[in-house]
Structure 1
């Protein structure tokens, strides 16, 4: 047996194999991390480091110049749990005067006969946000958009204060009271759907989520379908769009019919 060690630089075959392996590693690194990323026509490579990160699958931080902007107006309304909590009697009075223009759709006492939403006793932050979204274009409607266009921020505060002050009354077309469907109480966790009641008042109320009991079934169904198909897009963080898209037609029908069948609590808020 020869005395020469196998893994030694004096062994020409070892030196040759190591050299070829190193050359292959460098060549493949150049091809995979530099040349191929630059060869992609759709890539936007700013430099060598960008090319290496792109090939390694590391997302590049988008600059403000290249950030993707939505093609539609998004809601800029800021809603907090404390807003409009203690309206003055003057604000409620001004809101009552402004609300005379709203009576044809929302009723003289805030209860609709026309499948428009019932506003009596609604959370003030909800009314304020929707009016602000109608004015900004984040939410559109043939009737509400022109009306909201001329409202000042104080007008919106006053309308929200007035309607919140009104007692909730039974809807004009209530269905017979029925048990809560599973989508309302349990949701559908496997499809990422939280229970409706976890945000809309039956179990808890999240800021900005409207009170739904006693609302028109036709109105609620129309809004769920609008969220599902993207026609309505003023929900914060797309929470309603994500939920409505995952709901079946039967679940939408069940949720709308259930909330319409529940007589709203009657109460007189303290101004």
Structure 2
């Protein structure tokens, strides 16, 4: 059989192979240019042609993005190393008065008897940021959100300065001290997880990152899970969300248990 006869429609083998190839191309084109674009729940297209053009890299009009995290409020707080760095005694005194409303959950001395976070000695910038986020809705909680919504900027600053002024005290329900797990001291570089101490260390702390020693194990575990699921989203640049998503459930439990077992440094965070 000559080459001319081989590549003709009279050759049933050639005709079958062309038909299979055309059908495969048609099916993959439909899947790639129509089915998959419309399968993305966070993007809405005006019509089929818009989806085809978008899949081809030539969007005809702005697609409507409705991703859950993009439609929810994010933290707008700007922190620097000088945020609330030099409070006055009057500010601390005003904060002490305001803090009486916080004692039922966070304890009269800033140390919780329940699973609320301990605030005594916490960095002022941390409390300042979280209260602002509760007030704006960037972070939500059934108890904290209604409380924070009526706070003024001055009251948030005063509360932050007061709790930062208090000495860090041992927790009411300390766990036996545990050795440091690998996720805490080494992180997991292959998964993009830095050691916890890179941000939460007592010697080198990143502005806006809380100290964790002696905090409630249940609270810390719940927050890591909230970051991983996207329920909590007020971390700066999604750093905690990215880390928590990459952590295994066992690593989450180990990190929370380790920090809960550590006594805090009994120091004053504010001079």
TM range (shorter): 0.7 to 0.9
1:170-249 → structure 2 map (5 Å cutoff): 170-202=170-202, 204-249=204-249
| 1:13 counterpart residue number | none
Among 19, 44, 49, the alignment partner of 1:41 is 49
Unaligned 5+ runs, structure 2: 1-32, 34-46
Q: 1:111 corresponds to which residue? A: 111
For 1:132, the equivalent position in structure 2 comes to: 132
Alpha-carbon distance between aligned partners in 1 of 2:120 and 2:270, rounded to the nearest angstrom: 14
What stretches of structure 1 of length at least 5 have no aligned partner?
1-35, 46-50
- Structure 1 pair 81/270, CA: closer, same or farther in 2 (3 Å)? closer
Distance 1:146 1:152 in 2: 13
TM-score, reference length from structure 1:
0.77
| Counterpart secondary structure, 2:82 | coil
Mark the structure with the bigger radius of gyration: 1
- Equivalents in 2 of 1:127, 1:105: separation in Å? 15
Offset of 1:40 from its aligned partner? 6.6
Tell me the residue number matched to 2:29: none
Q: TM-score w.r.t. structure 2 length? A: 0.77
- Displacement of 1:42 after TM fit? 2.3
* Count of residue correspondences: 225
Matched, 1:123 2:123: yes
SS at match of 2:168: coil
Rounded to whole Å, the distance in 2 between the matches of 1:109 and 1:66 is: 49
SS in structure 2 opposite 1:76? Answer: coil
Match of 1:92 in 2: 92
Distance of 2:135 and 2:52 partners within structure 1: 38
Spell out structure 1 runs of 4+ moving beyond 4 A: 65-69
Cα offset for 1:268?
3.0
Q: Which residue of 2 aligns with 1:262?
A: 262
Alignment CA distance shift 1:81-1:67 (3 Å): farther
- State the distance in 2 between where 1:268 and 1:143 align: 27
Contact residue 106 and residue 118 of structure 2 kept, 8 A: yes
Shift of 1:213: 0.6
